[in-house]
Amino acid sequence: MSIITRGFRGRREAASADRVPPGQYVTRDFPVLSAGPTPHTPLDRWDFSIDGEVDEPRRWTWEEFRALPSEEVTRDIHCVTKWTKLDTVWRGVSVDTLLDGVETSADHVVQYSDGGYTTNLPLEDLLDGKAWIAFEYEGEPLEPAHGGPARVLVPHLYFWKSAKWVRGLRLLDHDEPGFWEVNGYHHYGDPWREQRYWGD
Ligand SMILES: Nc1nc2c(c(=O)[nH]1)N[C@H]1C(S)=C(S)[C@@H](COP(=O)(O)O)O[C@H]1N2
Ligand SMILES: [Mo]
């Protein structure tokens, strides 16, 4: 019995070890990391925009946004403060859905949020099933502290690249560092290459 138990645990730990990027530890908690107070925008004053270098800007009210097709995704998330949380379950609208048919010469994007937070990334990191605007976490409306009513989810980059309380995506033909990026954090932020700070 104990041999079976030990063997089973060993395999499971090995399986999750290659899901944990270098320098990270796994937590079961869901820490809140916010650079400022939690904004509380009422849903009837909430909207979501695609703007910048686009043929025509797009905008959805909350009702319109919630009428878009959404999907449930289960992903591991990695914070630059070194916690990794495995198998987090979200529901959101794929960024592919929001950008479908948009004509743009942009190669970079700034996510912008209520409260003034911004974060930058290459446009291609938001495409092809890699990013969502999430509005549910584990089957419940996303809590304000975790970014509700809606936040970005880009799980393949450090989690500061997933703006909480997001209100839009600005498409740009150049890279423009966001809130943490001007303060020394890496412009790209790949956890597998430990791109935490400038020069990493
Ligand atoms: N608007 C906004 N988005 C944000 C942040 C923030 O301070 N403000 N912090 C970032 C960081 S550093 C992390 S790790 C995650 C934390 O999300 P959580 O509080 O839901 O764990 O949100 C990211 N998005
Ligand atoms: Mo973070």
Asked if the peptide bond before residue 144 counts as cis, ω within 30 degrees of 0, the response is: no
CATH topology of domain 17-193: Sulfite Oxidase; Chain A, domain 2 (3.90.420)
Number of the ligand closest to the Cα of 179: 1
Number of the ligand closest to the Cα of 147: 1
Q: What pTM was estimated for this model as a whole?
A: 0.94
**Burial class for 119, CB neighbours closer than 10 Å (0-12, 13-18, 19+):** buried
Low-confidence ranges of the chain (pLDDT < 70): 1-15
Instruction: Supply the pLDDT for residue 47.
Output: 98
Give the three-state DSSP class for 85.
strand
Q: Where are the domains of the chain?
A: 17-193
Taking a C-beta distance cutoff of 8 angstroms, is the pair 182, 15 a contact?
no
Instruction: Supply the pLDDT for residue 15.
Output: 54
Phi, psi of 150 (to 5 degrees): -150, 145
How many angstroms separate the alpha carbon of residue 90 from the centre of ligand 1? 15
CA atoms of 187 and 178, how far apart (whole Å): 8
- Model confidence over 34-64: pLDDT tens digits? 999 999 999 999 999 999 999 999 999 999 9
How many angstroms separate the alpha carbon of residue 171 from the centre of ligand 2? 23
Our mutation pick for probing the ligand 1 site, out of 27, 29, 34, counting the most ligand atoms within 8 A of Cβ, is 34
Burial 170-180 (b: 16+ CB within 10 A, else e): bbbeeeebbbb
| Nearest protein CA to atom 12 of ligand 1, as residue | 160
Mean of per-residue pLDDT scores for the chain: 94
How many angstroms separate the alpha carbon of residue 166 from the centre of ligand 2? 16
Q: Is the CB of 32 under 6 A from ligand 1?
A: yes
Phi, psi of 160 (to 5 degrees): -70, -15
Our mutation pick for probing the ligand 1 site, out of 40, 80, 160, counting the most ligand atoms within 8 A of Cβ, is 160
Instruction: Supply the pLDDT for residue 13.
Output: 53
